[in-house]
Chain A
């Protein structure tokens, strides 16, 4: 699902620790994910509780970052494990493939391999 409106940029966001009016969040409060949104030529820092669609979050003691999923995934758990596929791909055990393993069939509504 594409969010209807992403979290407001600039300095008014709840998760910002330091920010600038031009580049939005420069650092986030603990446990928030930092994501760089591109708006035209500008990059705006956004602090989120979960990364936007097409990105996954990695937590670490120092910082929490959003990283792009593989191209065939709409959403993912990490770089190699998808949780939802792009149209034309079907999910099985974390992989988005154009075909399903033997014994499973493609479900277009769920974009998954189903029995």
Chain B
């Protein structure tokens, strides 16, 4: 029959009769009533008994007396957020047998109104966030067998409400974030076998039991960010289905060997803003779903992490360590790598990165690299950005850039170069060469047709790119004319930026080197 598919009370006869409503609200024909932000101090009268959605948020209802909702047996969603509610009578919610969603956030509750919640057997989502709850009585959620989503964040809890959670086998998502929890005891969440998401960020968690996450066999997201953990949370070993893990902004100094050996499904690990000094070489092994790994400032780390079978990595950042060598077979595992940042380490030589064919951005800035071989970047046709600045590079093989057809940004500044090969750099738009004092030759502008910005060791070298007025007739100047081709000078100088730009005190003549 038609009406079975309609919500009780909805007309369904094709013509809209005005919904029964209160003057303080606006109602729709489906049984929805919006009475929010009307300055109400109690539940308005005159609403339909078939109301299934009632929004009373942002009013001035400070108390809920007994049986206040007795006329709404079909209510499924009740919003009472932002009302300065401080007291809920144990019988206030009586009769709401079909209630699925109850929103009590942004009120003044100091404890969980456990008596009032007792008979809400259909309740799935309960919001108690942004109150002043300091205690969660053991029987708080006893009658709520269908509870799936529980918000207790932004309250004043000083411990995990272990007792009240003990019977919540159907709970799937829980947030205890923004409280004052300092310790997680063993078996704190032991019976929460359906829990998928657990947020504990922005607490004061300093220590956790080694078995504190036991029982969370379905947990996929664990957020421990912004706490005071000093030791790596070894308890994650109990989480075989973990996919998202966050413990950034803590006080963790080292990541042990095999740290994630029991978490093979990990996709993201956020661990930045920890005073990391050492990282176990095998910590990130066999994480075939890991997409990005960012480790900064692990200052005592010497060994490049073993990444065998971590073969879906797209972004790898390892900077500020004592790593001096890169494994020769790096690209055998990391075929999908798109960005590689190994800046601020102690790397002396580069292996061939030939297998990392999807690489788009590479930074080896601030290492001890001395030469670039023919095979180092061979085949990287997707590479757009290459930063080799602040090394000790003296020699670059003539064909080193031959296959870099997409390279647009090359930084070779602050090295020990005398010459650079330009074959293969036809797409280059930005080139940095400053800080190579031995590089005095005139640069072949013609081989860099797309160049738009260049920094060079000496001002006179800019004349090949920006067409200077006071061109002297010295032999080097005539080379410049040949290399730029007279007619191109006007076009290039219009769109090209070159520094240091020649001028009155930095003429185009190569006088005493760059003395300004």
Q: Which chain A residues border B77 with CB–CB below 8 Å?
A: 1
Q: Does A22 contact B (CB under 8 A)?
A: no
Q: Which chain A residues border B243 with CB–CB below 8 Å?
A: 80
User: Which of A49, A50, A60, A61 neighbours the largest number of chain B CB atoms within 10 Å of its CB?
Assistant: A49
A83 to B147, CA, bound (A): 12
Cβ contacts B163-202/A at 8 Å (1 or 0 each):
0000000001101011000000000000000101101011
Q: Are A93 and B196 in contact (CB under 8 A)?
A: yes
Choose among A59, A61, A93 the residue that contacts B129 (Cβ–Cβ < 8 A).
A59
Known: A31-B130, A49-B106, A59-B178. A4 touches B26 (CB 8 A): yes
Q: Which chain B residues border A8 with CB–CB below 8 Å?
A: 37
Q: Are B172 and A94 in contact (CB under 8 A)?
A: yes
Instruction: Tell me which residues from 112 to 170 in chain B have a Cβ below 8 Å from any Cβ of chain A.
Output: 124-125, 127, 129-130, 148-149, 153-154
How many cross-chain pairs have Cβ atoms below 8 Å apart between A and B?
A: 88
**Closest chain A CB from B390 CB (angstroms):** 35
Query: How big is chain A's contact interface, by range?
Result: 20 to 34
Q: Are B202 and A50 in contact (CB under 8 A)?
A: no
Cβ contacts A1-14/B at 8 Å (1 or 0 each):
10111011000011
A10 to B53, CA, bound (A): 26
Choose among B5, B53, B172, B202 the residue that contacts A81 (Cβ–Cβ < 8 A).
B172
Count of interface residues, chain B, beta-carbon cutoff 8 Å: 46
Q: Does B28 contact A (CB under 8 A)?
A: yes
**Closest chain B CB from A20 CB (angstroms):** 20
**Closest chain A CB from B484 CB (angstroms):** 47
Q: Does A32 contact B (CB under 8 A)?
A: yes
**Closest chain B CB from A42 CB (angstroms):** 21
Q: Does B58 contact A (CB under 8 A)?
A: yes
Q: Does B361 contact A (CB under 8 A)?
A: no
Q: Which chain A residues border B58 with CB–CB below 8 Å?
A: 7, 14-15, 49
**Closest chain A CB from B61 CB (angstroms):** 13
Instruction: Tell me which residues from 204 to 262 in chain B have a Cβ below 8 Å from any Cβ of chain A.
Output: 218, 220-221, 226, 243-244
Instruction: Tell me which residues from 64 to 105 in chain B have a Cβ below 8 Å from any Cβ of chain A.
Output: 77, 79, 81-82, 103, 105
Cβ contacts A27-48/B at 8 Å (1 or 0 each):
0000110000000000000000
Known: A7-B36, A7-B58. A77 touches B82 (CB 8 A): no
Q: Which chain B residues border A93 with CB–CB below 8 Å?
A: 172, 194, 196, 218
Q: Which chain B residues border A13 with CB–CB below 8 Å?
A: 37
Instruction: Tell me which residues from 11 to 29 in chain B have a Cβ below 8 Å from any Cβ of chain A.
Output: 26-28
Q: Are B81 and A59 in contact (CB under 8 A)?
A: no
19 sample A-B contacts, Cβ–Cβ < 8 Å, listed by A number: A3-B36, A4-B28, A4-B34, A7-B37, A7-B58, A8-B37, A13-B37, A49-B81, A49-B82, A50-B81, A59-B202, A61-B202, A80-B197, A80-B221, A81-B221, A93-B218, A94-B172, A94-B196, A94-B220
**New A-B contacts (9) at CB < 8 Å, excluding given A15-B82, A78-B173, A93-B172:** A1-B32, A4-B34, A14-B58, A31-B130, A49-B106, A49-B130, A83-B148, A94-B173, A94-B196
Q: Which residues of B contact A (CB under 8 A)?
A: 5, 26-28, 32-34, 36-37, 53, 55, 57-58, 77, 79, 81-82, 103, 105-106, 124-125, 127, 129-130, 148-149, 153-154, 172-173, 175, 177-178, 194, 196-197, 199, 201-202, 218, 220-221, 226, 243-244
